[in-house]
Structure 1
Amino acid sequence: MYALCPQLMNYQGDPIITAPCNRGGHTSQRMRPWQNSCIVLAGIALTMAIMRRLVQLSRGSHAAGRALPVTPYKCPVPAVIHQRIDHVKPGRLIIVGDCHGTPELFRLLDKLQYNIATDNLVLAGDLVNKGPVSRDILDAVPKLGCWAVRGNHDDAVLSAWLQFRAGQQMNPKFEWVRNMTDEEAAVLLGLPFTVSIPQYGIVVVHAGFVPGLPIAHQDMWVMYKVRNVVREGEGQELTHGSATKTSSGVKRLDVIPRYRPIEKAKDGGGEAWGALWRGPPHVFFGHDAIRRLQLHPHATGLDTGCVYGGQLTAAVMPPLAELRKQSSAFVAKMRLGEPVSREDLRVELVAVDAAEVYSPPGAVPT
């Protein structure tokens, strides 16, 4: 196991939209006695942090005379919605699809020879639920020196835990949540909706985005639920990045298609949002197990249905220094602010087969 002294999440202050994050070096040696103590102390700190965060949100909303800000599943909005990683470690960048509480995460990291001290690891959401080791994964996340985004199952589980702690009735499918600790709940509470790594020109989100809409304007529901979009007329682009000059020299915003997001094709048809995403950035996402691996020009879907007996898949990119030497196209496009492709990023797809079917494959993914 990849046991380390966890880095504490920052829950201080009021909710913000973006924040830089820089994780320092780690050691991959086996756990020592002092590390056990460190983990216990970190757990206590996380427990205090989650309670402090709830109190801060409550006081802030009462003082402002407005409703408590919540996610679509009625959980407190995370302190950081869009997390920005400005300084990466010197090793590879590894992005893993939906784990859903399956032990294949640890098998995949073993196969990749993941190095906590140098590699950068991002989990694409739905860390928990349906699989047998959800709590093990929550316990491992702070020890892996990784980042993760919030999936719809992560938020639903946190909501169920809060209901249970409040003495309310919860859905029987979340029965396992009764045994979750405060520390495990704190991991879920701290998950942002996106993790962006500007130096690679990429962003990780669980489900996706509405094409043409800046990430800062994306709805929380969309970011962990959308699969398809339906075109509904045209509108002006909200970012000035694509503004063009008229003959008079005055800048105008481009007119682009306007889309309505939907979760499932049966709810209104449409087409995969990723096929319409034109970047930048290049988006890595999960959530869409029915389509399995998706290789759109500027979006890569990594949910290959591990919990349904499929595979757990990772997108692996070279260390940033090597990538800049190996890919002149990457360097040129980053300099010009153009979207990068998997080929530019030198992406290698690595997968492990599921050891078993953890959830019936006939079940509709949610």
Structure 2
Amino acid sequence: MQSPRLMLAYSALSISILYLLYNWASRSSGTWLSSHRPPDFSRYVSLDSLSVEQFPLDDVDKRVVIVGDIHGMFDEFQSLLAKVSYNPVSDTLISVGDIVAKGPHAGSMSVLDFMAAHNITAVRGNHDQKVIEWRTWLEWIHTLPGGSDWLVHVQERWDKAQEHGADDVEEWVEEQVRHDKKHSKWWKRIPEGWQLFGDHYRIAEEMTHEQYLYMVRRPVRLHVPHAHTFIVHAGVLASDPNYKPGNKRQPLSHIPTLYEPYADQERTSILRRLQELAILKEVPQNLIPWVTLNMRGVLDDNTVTRKKDGTPWAELYKKDMKRCAGFESKDLKKKKKGSLPCHPATVVYGHAASRGLDINRWTFGLDSGCVYNRRMTALVLGAKVARDSSDTIEDEFDGEAVDIDGNIISSRPKFGDKGHGRIYSVSC
């Protein structure tokens, strides 16, 4: 028979193990033991990369089709795919984000169903992010004792309020927060600034678990090393505006270190990839997901803004790319003072509908304002595009290849080091 001291030791060990298991479970996602502490609603995936197979530029039988902001405009999205003769067997479809919200609710659900069912490559947009956050919040609330009942109760009260003429949900929620003392702990669990029962909430509530997982797996940034390209929703800075371009803190001011000898062509390719990763990981603004999802410009005090004032980030990016003179000393000597040891990289983005179709040498802004009854745009790339030179400007654009100011844009803008793309759009 075991001694009382040994039994006491076993009991203490068992209690310790149970405590550790409970403590671990309560900090988990709440799947089997819920925590009153809110989880990370953002669920950010910071960065992903695309291989040659996932972004085929040199295959004469394949294309890459990059689509600007969709915002739930499902019919127009399908019209655009038809216009570019999209073939899911041979074409890679990519979205620059904001696939849902702002447009029709039914359209958002149809776009989401299409994108998730076909696992379409995409980065997150700022509106996609809000949907992800609401759905994560909803799943958390449902794990809390009484959470589901409270949500049903609140929905019923809002429905009755609408029957009596209420039409401003924000105002109604504010009133509930002030007067519904019985459920005050629940109202406090809604993060500040979030709009209950709004567009993002309704999409989050209605989408399936599979669609939620699809959205959560979308990264904030995509890097395409072999194409020397970044795909983001709002933008990327090539340098920190708080320091001069040649400052040692800037990724483009110095050549990355290689510890093994390589042939010239391979060496250049590896150095470029390292420098591009440095842009994403060493420029501090690029490490903040909010910036990548919302940035439109940089103010005079060097802070990033999502408003329309300030210098458009693409202008700053263009200045940085103009300074790139290659890695060899002879290349740098050919350039004027201020040249940097770097090679240019391309950014494809959306978000800036106020600037419309914004095509520059190293930046492609594809949000042409479909949700504002303007146009939806796609950039088509690849060897197949370059080979097919029979199309004329009129065939491709039907006369609509213009920016927000009505300026005509080239039918075949330069892309990357030596390639070209094609711009297609449809009216909305």
TM-score, normalized by the shorter chain, greater than 0.5: yes
Query: Higher helix proportion, which one?
Result: 2
- Relative to structure 1, is the Cα distance of residues 139 and 301 closer, same or farther in structure 2, using a 3 angstrom cutoff? same
Distance apart, 1:201 and its partner CA:
2.3
Q: Match for 1:161: what amino acid?
A: R
User: What residue number does 1:107 align with?
Assistant: 79
Instruction: State the alpha-carbon separation in 1 of the partners of residues 44 and 27 from structure 2.
Output: 9
Alpha-carbon displacement from aligned partner over 1:266-294 (angstroms, at most 9, x marks no partner)? xxx32110111134320010001111111
Gaps of 5+ in 2: 1-24, 30-36, 142-146, 148-188, 241-278, 322-343, 388-413
User: What residue number does 1:134 align with?
Assistant: 108
Q: Which of these two proteins has the greater Rg computed from alpha carbons? A: 2
Residue in structure 2 matching 1:202, options 229, 249, 263: 229
Aligned-pair identity (%): 29
User: What residue number does 2:340 align with?
Assistant: none
Instruction: State the alpha-carbon separation in 2 of the partners of residues 344 and 200 from structure 1.
Output: 11
User: What residue number does 1:93 align with?
Assistant: 64
Whether 1:350 and 2:424 are equivalent positions in the alignment is yes
Instruction: State the alpha-carbon separation in 1 of the partners of residues 115 and 27 from structure 2.
Output: 25
User: What residue number does 2:394 align with?
Assistant: none
Residue in structure 2 matching 1:271, options 311, 326, 329: 311
User: What residue number does 2:173 align with?
Assistant: none
Gaps of 5+ in 1: 1-54, 60-66, 233-258, 324-339, 355-366
User: What residue number does 2:305 align with?
Assistant: 262
User: What residue number does 2:47 align with?
Assistant: 81
Q: How does 1:180-329 map to 2 (within 5 A)?
A: 180-213=207-240, 214-217=279-282, 218=286, 219-232=288-301, 259-265=302-308, 269-277=309-317, 278-279=320-321, 280-319=344-383
Instruction: State the alpha-carbon separation in 2 of the partners of residues 341 and 212 from structure 1.
Output: 21
User: What residue number does 2:273 align with?
Assistant: none
- Relative to structure 1, is the Cα distance of residues 56 and 183 closer, same or farther in structure 2, using a 3 angstrom cutoff? farther
Give structure 1 regions of 4+ aligned residues with deviation exceeding 3 angstroms. 55-59, 67-70, 142-145, 167-170, 320-323, 340-344
| TM-score using structure 1 length | 0.60
Query: Higher strand proportion, which one?
Result: 1
| TM-score using structure 2 length | 0.52
Distance apart, 1:145 and its partner CA:
5.1
Equivalent pairs counted in the alignment come to: 245
Alpha-carbon displacement from aligned partner over 1:59-104 (angstroms, at most 9, x marks no partner)? 8xxxxxxx9995xxx41222x5233334334411111100011112
Secondary structure of the structure 2 residue equivalent to 1:203: strand
Q: Match for 2:362: what amino acid?
A: H
Instruction: State the alpha-carbon separation in 1 of the partners of residues 357 and 237 from structure 2.
Output: 20
Q: Match for 1:152: what amino acid?
A: N
